[in-house]
Structure 1
Amino acid sequence: MSVYTKRGDKGITDMARTKNVSKSDDRIQLVGAIDELNSHIGLVKCMLKWEETVKMLSSIQDNLDLIAAGVEDPYSRDFKVNEEIVDNLEKETDRLEELCGQQAGKKVSGQNRTAAEINVTRAVARRTERCLAQVAVKFGADTESKKYLNRLSDYLSLLAKYVELSDALGLTEDQNVEKQNIKKQDVEKQKVKTQNTISEISNGIDEKVVREVLAQMGIQSRITLKKAKALIEKIEEESIRRGMNSVIAICGPEGNPIAVHVMDGAYLVSYDVAVKKAYTSVAVKMSTRELGELAGPGGTFYGVDTLESGKIAIFGGGVPLKCGNTIIGGLGISGGTSEEDHSLAEYGLTVLGDIM
């Protein structure tokens, strides 16, 4: 059977219950607009790596197919958009609006290609909504379908802004850049640029945006117990190789302990010291060795070890665990000299990427 029938050569086509409909008919124009919108959404899906967002866009495509089928066969109950479908889209729109904060009402700048493509998709969604309104005047239309298309453009507008903000935070990849060709100095320049951008827009973004973007990308915003145990296992192996009997403590970004491992032969006092080192590293956002250098007489943090009921440690062995620029936890090592503990903690940082 040939892919072409030649019936459309005269500018006519068929609908589910109506034959010989002109291709200039408003209903055919609407179905075509929905098809175009669906194609743009498909392109956006290819450009995004966020699994949950891609799933949401796939469900939107299914709902658009449902609306198109309802236009062609308005008498079938199988092709009706229900309130639940509209509610789900509204909830996701509300979530994005909250994450975007004060930036939600601003226009997309066009500096991010994916965001720009989503913005084009939004414009096509608006045109599709106008086509549906025109069909409704002449032939009637499903009320929930009209609501859905109206909400869809709002959702796409916020999604574009959300993607742009995420890129400004340096948390998305530019697929047009070949990373292997970027020189080291260019990387450092980009880091500075990213930090400046964050400062410029920080009034409109809070920590929830950062954590949400990390989650969308499949990156942990805090170290989990499973990851902590895996990191401890690697550090213990290295500690044994070095002939050290250590206590290894890992806390969350808020300072609460997640896991503490005591090796055979470790000093009793090392337990409390390791926990303090882990806590200190996230409390001051630097290694405890760095803090120790600043805590001497005349130093910026002189006397800090007397604060917080003795919870602060100012000798080597504590380091913050980071994913990008976000602190996801703290690591504390105790069992050897200050330098030995710090060296083992630094080793922990080198293997962190292997378990994340």
Structure 2
Amino acid sequence: MKVYTKTGDAGLTSLLSKERVYKDSARVQAYGTVDEANAAMGLAKSLIEKDWAKEIIHNIQAELIALNADLATAEAVNNADFRISPNHINSLEKLIDSLEERRIPQPYFVTPGSTAASAALDLARTITRRAERCVVALGRQERVSAPVPLYLNRLSDLLFVLARCVEQEELVANITKKVRGILEPVPGNDREKLSLPVLTKARQMIDAAGHKAREMGIAMVMAIVDANGTLVVQERMDNSLLASVSLALDKAYTAVALRMPTEQAASLVTPGQELYGINTTHHGRLVVFGGGLPIYDQGILYGGIGVSGGSVDQDILVAKAGLAVF
């Protein structure tokens, strides 16, 4: 059988009942838009690496074929003649609930395009919304199986949540890969060579930072780590916050791990930026607000200094006072 039949050359097509209708009829517009959504989901499936997400999409694509058969059926006598039932809607709702449990909440409007796969899912979502509108318009003129528009409504919600889960998993995986590359330990003898300058200067740096903190009248905690993120020395001033002990160390660690001041990292973790989501990785050790500085000399990273106890600006000033000694 040839792909082209010429039976539609006059602008007509056949429903499953063999009834001939115009190609721009509301019913054809409806199932044609669903077919478009199905194709967009296929694009998303080709871009996704996770098998669990591919399986979800594949199963839904099969259901959309059945849903289109319902839309192409204009003369069904009772609900038993239709293929999509309330059970299909219940399954979508359960799937949405399970995906909601695994995604990171996002209390802001999402701009599509953080990853190729999530962008394709968002495209499929918006086409599904259009398909739902087409089905609603059709239902005002002709009979439509009741579960069909409900299915499309829930499907658009599912595609939104699925896009966020896929997007977040991919972003976290990419960030984790970058961090692991940064955190690769310096080999043997080189590690000892890089640690030596920090070991000899650490006490002086802590003293200088502490002197600055006392000048400002703020009780702070200061920490120095070497190029591998290992603690060299840490000092807690009287009456400093208990939380500052771990924060100072983690700021120093973050400055080494990311090879940048923690205040710079803060601007890169907002939605859409290069390091978005990195603060949720590495067991929560990465601190993305000011107070941590890498210790560089002639382009060589020797370690990091972290300060906590005051405002962000105050922590940065004290850290810089300690760094100046090195």
Query: Under a length normalisation based on structure 2, what TM-score does the superposition of the two structures give?
Result: 0.52
Encode CA deviations 1:273-312: one digit per residue, 9 max, x unaligned.
xxxxxxxxxxxxxxxxx99x87xxx878xxxxxxxxxxxx
Partner of 2:238: none
Structure 1 residues 59 and 78: CA distance shift in structure 2, 3 A: farther
Structure 1 residues 109 and 7: CA distance shift in structure 2, 3 A: closer
Structure 1 residues 188 and 82: CA distance shift in structure 2, 3 A: closer
C-alpha deviation, 1:136, in angstroms: 0.9
Structure 1 residues 100 and 85: CA distance shift in structure 2, 3 A: same
CA distance in structure 2 between the partners assigned to 1:152 and 1:191 by the alignment: 40
Unaligned segments of structure 1, at least 5 residues:
174-185, 193-289, 301-324, 328-356
Encode CA deviations 1:223-270: one digit per residue, 9 max, x unaligned.
xxxxxxxxxxxxxxxxxxxxxxxxxxxxxxxxxxxxxxxxxxxxxxxx
Q: Helix, strand or coil for the counterpart of 2:141? A: helix
Unaligned segments of structure 2, at least 5 residues:
184-228, 236-280, 284-326
CA distance in structure 2 between the partners assigned to 1:134 and 1:43 by the alignment: 27
Partner of 1:106: 109
C-alpha deviation, 1:135, in angstroms: 1.1
CA distance in structure 2 between the partners assigned to 1:103 and 1:96 by the alignment: 14
C-alpha deviation, 1:81, in angstroms: 1.4
Q: Helix, strand or coil for the counterpart of 1:141? A: coil
1:25 corresponds to which letter in structure 2?
S
Counterpart contact for 2:82–2:145, Cα < 8 Å: no
Counterpart contact for 1:166–1:172, Cα < 8 Å: no
Percent identical pairs in the alignment equals: 28
CA distance in structure 2 between the partners assigned to 1:121 and 1:139 by the alignment: 26
CA distance in structure 2 between the partners assigned to 1:11 and 1:58 by the alignment: 32
Q: How many residues align?
A: 191
Partner of 1:336: none
1:150 aligns with 2:150: no
Partner of 1:36: 36
Partner of 1:231: none
Partner of 1:57: 57
Higher relative contact order (CA 8 A, sep 6+): 2
CA distance in structure 2 between the partners assigned to 1:31 and 1:191 by the alignment: 51
CA distance in structure 2 between the partners assigned to 1:122 and 1:114 by the alignment: 12
CA distance in structure 2 between the partners assigned to 1:188 and 1:72 by the alignment: 52
2:51 corresponds to which letter in structure 1?
E
Partner of 2:166: 163
Partner of 2:272: none
Structure 1 residues 105 and 139: CA distance shift in structure 2, 3 A: farther
TM-align CA RMSD: 3.2
Structure 1 residues 171 and 43: CA distance shift in structure 2, 3 A: same
Partner of 2:195: none
Q: Helix, strand or coil for the counterpart of 1:169? A: helix
CA distance in structure 2 between the partners assigned to 1:190 and 1:138 by the alignment: 61
1:139 aligns with 2:142: yes
Runs of 4+ in 1 over 6 A off after TM superposition: none
Structure 1 residues 7 and 104: CA distance shift in structure 2, 3 A: farther
